[in-house]
């Protein structure tokens, strides 16, 4: 070891490498778990992170668990989907089904369809997994939607949570994409008809439509490759985007800390609730298992998507009624309500599916995605908010949210116009004309009614427990002072 | 406990309403027998009456004394035995009022009367119309029947045979109460808005296959459990969102009751 | 305005609290045991051959037992007191770190980097074009040609006597059975009832008329036929076409009639096409009128 005088050239002194310190004498671990944790910690250094993580405080409210229901559904989908992926054959090559279901036994169908039939009729627990997977998908997107509604109506998307809103919106679109690709994989007549419509909507884009459609399908419809390509999206690309998005979503919640409702002692600078360990972790685990039990119950007891009744996809046939899964229903309704208008402007034809199929959904979803920025621009409120609103605290926002829900609900209802016409014994034409009117009128009415009701509620107050407006200065436990927003 | 009672009331009410709506929609969906029919009891008619006598008494007012038709009813001349048999055995005829929509109801006449009427109506006109087909479903090719049904019938009658609205105020009816003879007759005569399929277009063997598949649809296997009466994503979406999500919201509220129920008495 | 209402909960005595905890412990343990039993039963059921509804029920009991038990532990056996934690400001405070290196041609470097990255992005993205062929003229033609014989779904030539008046059937070009864009409807109406201009009427001999089956709205096969009214209906969005009027749309979102296939009858009673469709079949695209 060289020893140089450190006073002569301080900049070039190489300090002695410090000796590796002896591991500190640790207290004897009391339980197996503590011994295991110590073993991991001494090799990874995760102990300090775990200590902070397990102590982290999350606010208590049932409405904060709706996103966790969606997350639980995602985990269930990955688990059941992995099982399905071992059996599904993502190919349109012909195969002969030789299984137990008589009306198709001996028929030549696509390999994809044959593998789904075989899984449903001839593989033990196959139909249970398939049904749980599909029911969970329907519930997954529903859970995302009500979680989105909770976030919207409480203003949780405001600064600093705009990025999380965008990520969440992205997760919604990925989930819808997963659902659409997923139910199209069995290559049955009903979902194949839906693919045909998707192809036509792609075709309708000005200038690039035909190229887009041919790229996506590998040629004119149906093309030789669509099932295998949907499979790549369904088990690889979209799940990767979902997992990445969910991780980012949770990370931001972690670092920003969850928002909380207004209550005594709650301020913009604290979080009141329960610690992650044991309370929140156990709640989340329990909720995950209970969510799985609900989807398993429905998946085992109620039949869904009986593809053997629809038959294999054949391009020359379509049966009715023909609807997509519920979360695509608003697109279907837009197509059914769309006017029969196909103008040609300066030599460019705008096909009749373009506006209802791309422009209108684009505007609606664009508005949802950009809402935090639209509201901040409109209200001028760029402050950080960690205390949530009640819906009546922001009547315009809530009214707009209700109106948006009304539009989407009317369009979804319109997607089943022939089913409704049969159920209520009315003419399809009359119902469709009525829905065209209602889809514009009901949201406007809903906006007005909601706004007026909420403004009224805001004026009259919310009950005897409200202490009154005001702020109070209180002493904190570390000796400082803090301002608290009262009641 | 007060809180528990309150939310049990709220969510219990919501669940009950949801189930009632679901149940009502299910009951009103196609595929169930139309018990909304008039209370048409089977009318006993003395068998000594000739077909012509019955016809003149019950049918001639709308269809004309020689079956030539009037403003209230189509001509029955050359329509054949199959048409009359179909209409009478499915209760579509006689109508209460001219202009009523035709739909399946309990037949108004007993078998002997129907036979007599059919024989008489078949004799009307100058040439024989479609005869009552002899549809033999035992030994039929169920797979070919399914393929033919999907190609020719499912677009109106649905993949489950439950029927659907097809516009113009017309509904393709449910087939789930139709026996093979009824199916065969309908295919050959094209009742109401239905197109016609003759023997060259669909052979008798193919019709038998289709009828066999329709019989299969009346009691299809449901390995997945309970099948909502309406087959398809509409009913499935309803169940998932109303029942599935509804149940999950109830569970969520139980798992995390929130600040109020946790702090025993500490309300702040 | 305050947040969600806080219910007054009557305070329970320490003895009541202990009783509640005891009960919760027993119920949770019971739930776990039931879950275990259900799991075991599921294994037995699987060995015996399985049955979807029973599998679902047993798995539900197993999951609900575990989940409910854990939720009960979370609800009754964890500390009830709430904790307050402070929020730190999110933004990172400015850092007095080492000065960035001196770059004299900063703008040049950045712009050239941008150009390089754009080139890389294009190079990486271009293979996407291998996913499908250029549309070219594919959308404007089908496999129908002058003289192509008309066959049914079974591949056999369609005979005129297989259709009565008010009959409809699906036909294909011979040699292109099942071709999606060439799927055609052959309909028989009463002779003389078609209201078409003379040149189109020439392609619909004796009341037999052929239209493309591909809906001009979103491409679904127009498989419904209300024969009494001579209306074709598409099952997807209820576009309705009048057969007698050149398949003109009378209701629904379709804006263009179904293209007609001009046909003729052979002496042997079969049909053949006189030409391809005079316009592109199926849904519209931006340059369909070129």
Tokens of C12: 């329970």
Report if residue A134 sits inside a domain. Answer: yes
The distance of B251 to chain A (nearest Cα, Å) reads 8
Q: Which residues of B touch C224 (CB under 8 A)?
A: 155-156, 166-167, 172
Determine, yes or no, domain membership for B142. Answer: yes
Same domain, B152 and B213: yes
HSE-CB of C147 using CA atoms within 13 angstroms: 0
Q: Does the pLDDT of residue B21 top 80, yes or no?
A: no
**CB-CB under 8 Å, B255 with A283:** yes
Q: Which residues of C fall within a CB distance of 8 Å from B197?
A: 167
* C44 to chain B, closest Cα gap in Å: 20
Q: Are B159 and A319 in contact (CB under 8 A)?
A: yes
How do strand C231-233 and strand A387-388 relate by DSSP bridges? unpaired
Check residue C105 and give its pLDDT: 76
CA of C7: which chain B residue's CA is closest? B260
Tell me, letter by letter, the H, E, C secondary structure of C251-280: ECCCCCCCCEECEEECCCCEEEECCCCCCC
- C201 closest CA partner among C268, C276, C274, C283: C274
Inter-chain CB proximity A193 and C285 less than 8 Å: no
Q: How many CA atoms lie within 13 A of B7 on its CB side?
A: 15
Which residues of chain C neighbour A68 with C-beta distances below 8 Å? Answer: none
First and final C-alpha spacing in chain B: 19
Tell me if A86 is assigned to some domain. Answer: yes
The confidence score (pLDDT) of residue B24 equals 56
Q: Which of C6, C56, C73 sits opposite A297 (nearest CB)?
A: C56
Q: Is residue A425 part of a domain?
A: no
Are A219 and C133 in contact by the 8 Å Cβ rule? The answer is yes
> Chain B residues with CB inside 8 Å of A422's CB?
29-30, 163-165, 171
CA distance B245 to B255: 15
State the nearest Cα–Cα gap between A30 and chain B, in angstroms.
31
**Cis peptide before A278, with omega less than 30 degrees from 0?**
yes
Q: Calculate mean pLDDT across residues B55-59.
A: 89
The pLDDT of residue A24: 57
Å between A114 CA and nearest CA of chain B: 14
pLDDT computed for residue C8 by the predictor = 39
Judge whether A454 lies within some domain. no
**In angstroms, how far apart are the furthest CA atoms of chain C?**
102
| Residue C257 touches partner A, C-beta closer than 8 Å | no
Distance from CA of A203 to the nearest CA of B (A): 25
Contact A469, A407 (CB under 8 A): no
Question: How confident is the model at residue A81, as a pLDDT?
Answer: 98
Bridge partners of C169, per DSSP, are C186
Contact flag A200-C218 (C-beta cutoff 8 Å): yes
| Distance to chain A for B168, nearest Cα, Å | 6
d(CA A271, CA C82): 10
Contacts of B166 in chain A (CB under 8 A): 320, 418, 428
How many beta carbons lie within 10 A of that of residue B216, not counting itself?
A: 19
Report the residue of chain B nearest C236, measured CA to CA.
Answer: B155
Collect all residues with Cβ–Cβ distance below 8 Å to C245 and sequence separation of at least 6. Answer: C195
Q: Specify if B197 maps to a domain.
A: yes
Map tokens 């329970």 to a residue: C12
For chain C, the helix, strand and coil percentages under 3-state DSSP, each to the nearest 5: 35, 15, 45
For A258, the token pair is: 């969850």
What per-residue confidence (pLDDT) applies to A416? 95
Comparing alpha-carbon positions, the chain A residue that sits nearest to B145 is A103
Token representation of residue A239: 């799940």
pTM for this prediction: 0.88
Predicted confidence (pLDDT) at residue B222 exceeds the cutoff of 50: yes
Interface size between A and B, measured as CB pairs under 8 A = 203
Comparison of pLDDT for A46 and C217, the residue scoring more: C217
The per-residue pLDDT for B36 is 41
Output the pLDDT for position C83.
85
Q: How many CB atoms lie within 10 A of CB C98?
A: 6
pLDDT tens digits for range B97-114: 888 888 899 999 999 999
Q: pLDDT confidence of B37, banded at 50, 70, 90?
A: very low
**With contact defined as beta carbons under 8 Å apart, do B249 and A150 qualify?**
no
The CA distance from C152 to the nearest CA of chain B, in Å, is 10
**Residue A428 falls inside a structural domain:** no
A91, A109 contact by CB (below 8 A): no
Nearest partner of C86 among A255, A269, A475, A57, judged by Cα: A269
Q: Which residues pair with A260 in a beta bridge?
A: A387
Residues within 8 A of C (CB atoms), B 174-203 only: 190, 192-198, 200-201
B251: domain range?
A: 2-29+229-262
The Cα of C251 is separated from the nearest Cα of chain B by a number of Å equal to 9
Q: Is residue B105 part of a domain?
A: yes
Q: Higher model confidence: residue A202 or residue A55?
A: A202
The token pair that represents C249 in the structure block: 């749309």
- How many Å separate Cα A403 from the centre of its chain? 21
Is-contact A276 A56, C-beta < 8 A?
A: yes
Question: How many separate domains does chain B show?
Answer: 3
> Could you tell me the sign of the dihedral formed by the alpha carbons of A121, A125, A126, A128, in that order?
positive
3-state helix, strand, coil in chain B (%, to 5): 50, 5, 50
Residues of C within 8 A of A347 (CB-CB) are 287, 289-290
Let me know: does A137 contact A176? Beta carbons within 8 Å: no
Residue A33 in domain = no
- Residue A39, number of CB atoms within 10 A of its CB: 11
Task: Give the neighbours of chain B: at least 3 Cβ pairs within 8 Å.
Answer: A, C
3-state class of C279 per DSSP?
coil
Task: Compute the distance between CA of residue C241 and CA of residue C185 in angstroms, rounded to an integer.
Answer: 12
Q: How many domains does chain A have?
A: 1
Task: Please identify every stretch of chain C with a pLDDT value under 50, giving residue numbers as ranges.
Answer: 1-11
Q: Which of B101, B132, B163 is the last residue of a domain?
A: B132
Long-range CB contact pairs, A151-154, < 8 A, 24+: A152/A371, A152/A397, A152/A401, A153/A389, A153/A391, A153/A397, A153/A398, A153/A401, A154/A63, A154/A259, A154/A261, A154/A388, A154/A389, A154/A390, A154/A391
- Give the distance from residue A19's alpha carbon to the nearest chain C alpha carbon, in angstroms: 29
CATH of the domain at B85: 1.10.760.10
Q: How many helices (H) and strands (E) does chain C have?
A: 4, 12
Q: What is the pLDDT of residue A464?
A: 35
- Give the span between the Cα atoms of A123 and A87, in whole angstroms: 9
Q: Smallest CA–CA separation between A32 and chain C, in Å?
A: 21
How far apart (Å, rounded) are the C-alpha atoms in residues A411 and A463? 37
Contact A320 B226 (CB under 8 A): no
**Considering only CB atoms, which chain C residues are within 8 Å of A348?**
286-287
For the beta carbon of residue C91, count every other beta carbon within 10 angstroms. Answer: 8
Same domain assignment for residues B184 and B206: yes
**Does position B213 have pLDDT exceeding 60, yes or no?**
yes
> Do the Cβ atoms of A302 and B239 come within 8 Å?
yes
- Does C3 sit within 8 Å of A262, measured CB to CB? yes
Q: In what order do the strands lie in the sheet with C240-242?
A: C224-226, C231-233, C240-242, C248-251
**In this complex, how many residue pairs, one in chain B and one in chain C, have their CB atoms less than 8 Å apart?**
102
All residues of chain A having their beta carbon less than 8 Å from the beta carbon of residue B165 are 418-419, 421-422, 427-428
Q: Find the CATH number of the domain harbouring A57.
A: 1.20.810.10
pLDDT tens string A218-237: 999 999 999 999 999 999 99
Q: Report pLDDT for B129.
A: 87
pLDDT given for residue C77 in this prediction: 86
Tell me how far apart the alpha carbons of residues C179 and C173 are, in angstroms, rounded to a whole number. Answer: 8
- Asked whether residue B174 carries a pLDDT value surpassing 70, the answer given is yes
Over range A120-125, report the average pLDDT: 94
Q: Is residue B268 part of a domain?
A: no
User: Cα–Cα distance between B143 and B206 in angstroms, integer?
Assistant: 11
Q: Tell me: the pLDDT tens digits for A403-430?
A: 999 999 999 999 999 999 988 989 999 9
Question: Which of C34, C56, C57 is the best residue to mutate to test the A interface, defined by the most A CB atoms within 10 Å of its own CB?
Answer: C56
The Cα-based distances of A455 to A262, A430, B25, C98 in angstroms read 19, 36, 36, 55
Q: What is the pLDDT of residues A16-27, one digit of tens each?
A: 666 665 555 556
What pLDDT sits at residue A60? 87
- pLDDT value at position A294? 97
3-class SS of residue C263: strand
Report d(CA C40, CA C48) in Å as an integer: 13
**Interface contact flag, B255 A103, Cβ < 8 Å:** no
Residues of C in contact with B167 (CB under 8 A): 224, 226, 231, 233, 238, 240, 251
Kindly state whether residue A58 falls inside one of the protein's structural domains: yes
Angle (CA) A195-A198-A203 rounded to 5° is 130
C56 touches A at CB < 8 Å: yes
* Strands A387-388 and A260-261, sheet pairing: parallel
- Whose CA is closest to B76, among B135, B133, B117, B48? B117
Q: CATH number of the domain at C143-273, please?
A: 2.102.10.10
What is the bridge-based pairing of β-strands C83-86 and C150-151?
Answer: unpaired
Domain boundary among B80, B112, B132: B132
Return the pLDDT at B28. 46
What whole-number percentage of chain A has pLDDT above 70? 89
- Measured CA to CA, the distance from residue A280 to residue C78 in angstroms comes to 10
Q: Which of A317, A327, A423 sits opposite B29 (nearest CB)?
A: A423
In chain B, the residue whose alpha carbon lies closest to the alpha carbon of A413 is B234
Write down the residue that tokens 């997923």 correspond to.
A182
Domain ranges of chain C: 14-76, 143-273
Nearest residue in chain C measured CA to CA from B200: C162
Report d(CA C59, CA B261) in Å as an integer: 31
Residues of C in contact with B166 (CB under 8 A): 224, 226, 233
Task: Choose the most confident range, by mean pLDDT, from A47-56, A198-207, C17-26, C68-77.
Answer: A198-207
- Facing residue for A432 by CB, picked from C68, C238, C283: C238
Of C4, C57, C75, Cβ closest to residue A300: C57
Give the residue from C215, C213, C108 showing the smallest Cα distance to C153: C213
Domain check: are B118 and B179 in the same one?
no
Please indicate, yes or no, if residue B216 is contained in any of the structural domains.
yes
What is the model's pLDDT at position A465?
34
pLDDT band at B268 (very low <50, low <70, confident <90, very high): very low
Structure tokens at C228: 């009494």
Least confident of A145-159, B71-85, C236-250: B71-85
- Which range is least confidently modeled, A55-64, A66-75, B111-120, B259-268? B259-268
Q: In a mutagenesis test of the C interface, which of B190, B195, B225 is the best target, namely the one with the most C β-carbons within 10 Å?
A: B195
For residue C95, what pLDDT is reported?
77
In this complex, which of A61, A64, A320 lies closest to B156 when CB atoms are compared?
A320
> Minimal CA–CA distance to B11: which of C5, B19, B235, A261?
B19
Closest CA to B160 of A286, A86, A419: A419
Q: Do A254 and A56 touch, CB atoms closer than 8 A?
A: yes
Residue A303 counted as domain residue: yes
Q: Considering only CA atoms, give the Rg of chain C.
A: 36
Cα Rg, chain A, nearest whole Å: 28
The answer to whether C250 and C189 have CB atoms below 8 angstroms apart is: no
Interface contact flag, B255 C71, Cβ < 8 Å = yes
Query: Is there a domain that residue B34 lies in?
Result: no
Distance CA C174, CA C204 (A): 19
Residues 104-143 of A with CB under 8 A from B: 104-107, 120-121, 127, 131, 135, 138-139, 142-143
User: Subunits with at least 3 CB pairs below 8 A relative to chain C?
Assistant: A, B
């Amino acid at each position: 070891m060289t020893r140089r005088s450190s006073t002569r050239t301080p900049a070039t002194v190489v300090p002695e490498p410090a000796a590796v310190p002896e591991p500190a004498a640790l207290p004897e671990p009391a339980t197996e778990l503590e011994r295991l944790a110590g073993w991991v910690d001494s090799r990874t250094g995760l102990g300090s992170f775990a200590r902070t993580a397990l102590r982290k405080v999350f606010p208590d409210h049932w409405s904060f668990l709706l996103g966790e229901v969606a997350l639980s559904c995602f985990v269930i989908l990955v688990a059941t989907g992995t099982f399905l992926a071992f059996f599904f054959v993502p190919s349109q090559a012909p195969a002969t089904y030789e299984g137990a279901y008589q009306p198709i036994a001996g028929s030549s169908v696509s390999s994809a369809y044959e593998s789904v039939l075989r899984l449903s009729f001839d593989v033990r627990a196959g139909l249970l997994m398939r049904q749980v997977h599909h029911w969970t998908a329907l519930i997954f997107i529903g859970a995302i939607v009500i979680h989105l509604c909770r976030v919207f109506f409480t203003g949780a998307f405001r600064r600093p949570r705009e990025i999380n809103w965008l990520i969440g919106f992205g997760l919604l679109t990925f989930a819808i994409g997963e659902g659409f690709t997923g139910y199209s994989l069995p290559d049955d007549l009903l979902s194949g008809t839906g693919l045909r419509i998707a192809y036509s909507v792609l075709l309708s884009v000005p200038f690039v439509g035909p190229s887009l459609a041919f790229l996506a399908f590998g040629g004119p419809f149906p093309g030789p490759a669509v099932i295998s390509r949907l499979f790549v999206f369904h088990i690889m690309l979209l799940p990767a985007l979902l997992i990445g998005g969910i991780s980012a979503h949770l990370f931001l919640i972690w670092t920003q800390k969850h928002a909380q409702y207004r209550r005594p002692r709650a301020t913009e600078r604290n979080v009141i609730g329960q610690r992650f360990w044991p309370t929140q972790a156990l709640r989340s685990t329990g909720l995950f298992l209970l969510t799985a039990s609900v989807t398993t119950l429905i998946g085992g007891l109620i039949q869904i998507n009986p593809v053997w009744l629809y038959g294999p996809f054949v391009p020359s046939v379509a049966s009715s009624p023909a609807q997509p899964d519920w979360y695509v229903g608003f697109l279907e309704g837009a197509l059914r309500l769309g006017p029969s208008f196909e103008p040609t402007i300066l030599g460019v034809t705008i096909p009749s599916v373009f506006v209802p199929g791309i422009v209108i959904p684009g505007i609606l979803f664009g508005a949802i995605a950009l809402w935090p920025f639209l509201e901040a621009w409109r209200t001028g409120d760029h402050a950080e908010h960690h205390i949530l609103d009640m819906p009546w605290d922001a009547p315009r926002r809530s009214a707009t949210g209700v109106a948006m829900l009304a539009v989407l609900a009317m369009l979804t209802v319109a997607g089943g116009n022939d089913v409704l016409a049969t159920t209520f014994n009315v003419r399809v034409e009359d119902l469709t004309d009525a829905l065209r009117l209602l889809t514009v009128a009901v949201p406007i009415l809903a906006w007005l009614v909601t706004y007026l009701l909420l403004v009224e509620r805001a004026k009259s107050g919310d009950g005897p427990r409200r202490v009154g407006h005001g702020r109070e200065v209180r002493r904190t436990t570390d000796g400082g002072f803090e301002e608290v927003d009262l009641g | 406990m007060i809180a528990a009672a309150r939310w049990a009331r709220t969510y219990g009410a919501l669940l009950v309403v949801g189930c009632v709506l679901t149940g009502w929609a299910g009951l009103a969906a196609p595929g169930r027998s139309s018990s909304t029919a008039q209370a048409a009891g089977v009318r006993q008619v003395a068998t000594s009456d000739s077909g012509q006598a019955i016809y003149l008494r019950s049918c001639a007012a709308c269809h004309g004394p020689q079956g030539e038709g009037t403003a209230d009813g189509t001509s029955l001349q050359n329509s054949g035995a199959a048409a009359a048999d179909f209409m009478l055995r499915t209760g579509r005829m006689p109508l209460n009022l001219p202009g009523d929509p035709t739909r399946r109801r309990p037949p108004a006449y007993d078998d002997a009367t129907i036979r007599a009427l059919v024989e008489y109506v078949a004799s009307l006109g100058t040439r024989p119309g479609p005869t009552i087909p002899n549809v033999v479903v035992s030994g039929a090719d169920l797979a070919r029947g399914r393929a033919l049904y999907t190609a020719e019938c499912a677009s109106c009658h649905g993949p489950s045979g439950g029927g659907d609205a097809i516009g113009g105020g017309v509904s393709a009816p449910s087939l789930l109460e139709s026996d093979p003879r009824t199916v065969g007759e309908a295919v050959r005569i094209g009742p109401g808005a239905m197109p016609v399929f003759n023997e060259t277009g669909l052979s008798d063997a193919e019709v038998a296959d289709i009828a066999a598949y329709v019989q299969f649809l009346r009691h299809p296997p449901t390995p997945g459990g309970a099948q909502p009466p309406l087959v398809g994503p509409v009913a499935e979406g309803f169940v998932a969102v109303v029942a599935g999500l509804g149940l999950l919201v109830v569970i969520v509220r139980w798992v995390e009751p929130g600040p109020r129920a946790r702090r025993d008495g500490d309300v702040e | 305005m305050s947040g969600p209402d806080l219910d007054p909960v009557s305070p329970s005595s320490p003895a009541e609290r202990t009783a509640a905890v005891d009960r919760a412990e027993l119920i949770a343990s019971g739930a776990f045991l039931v879950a275990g039993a259900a799991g075991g039963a599921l294994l037995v059921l699987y060995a015996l051959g399985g049955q979807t509804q029973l599998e679902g029920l047993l798995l539900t009991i197993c999951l609900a037992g575990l989940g409910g038990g854990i939720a009960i532990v979370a609800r009754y056996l964890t500390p009830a007191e709430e904790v307050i934690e402070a929020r730190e400001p999110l933004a990172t405070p400015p850092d007095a770190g080492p000065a960035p290196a001196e770059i004299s041609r900063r703008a040049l470097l950045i712009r050239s980097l941008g150009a390089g990255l754009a080139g890389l992005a294009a190079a990486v993205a271009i293979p996407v074009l291998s996913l499908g062929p250029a549309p070219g003229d594919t959308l404007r033609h089908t496999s129908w040609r002058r003289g192509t014989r008309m066959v049914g779904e079974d591949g056999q030539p369609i005979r005129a006597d297989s259709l009565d008046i008010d009959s409809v059937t699906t036909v294909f070009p011979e040699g292109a059975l099942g071709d999606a864009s060439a799927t055609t409807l052959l309909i028989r109406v009463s002779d003389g009832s078609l209201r078409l201009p003379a040149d189109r009427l020439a392609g619909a001999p004796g009341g037999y008329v052929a239209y493309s089956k591909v809906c001009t709205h979103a491409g679904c096969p127009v498989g419904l036929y209300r024969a009494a009214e001579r209306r074709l209906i598409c099952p997807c969005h209820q576009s309705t076409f009048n057969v007698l009027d050149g398949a003109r749309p009378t209701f629904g979102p379709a804006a263009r009639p179904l293209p007609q296939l001009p046909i003729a009858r052979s002496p042997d009673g079969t049909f053949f096409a006189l030409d391809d469709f005079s316009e592109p079949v199926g849904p519209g695209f931006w340059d369909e009128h070129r």
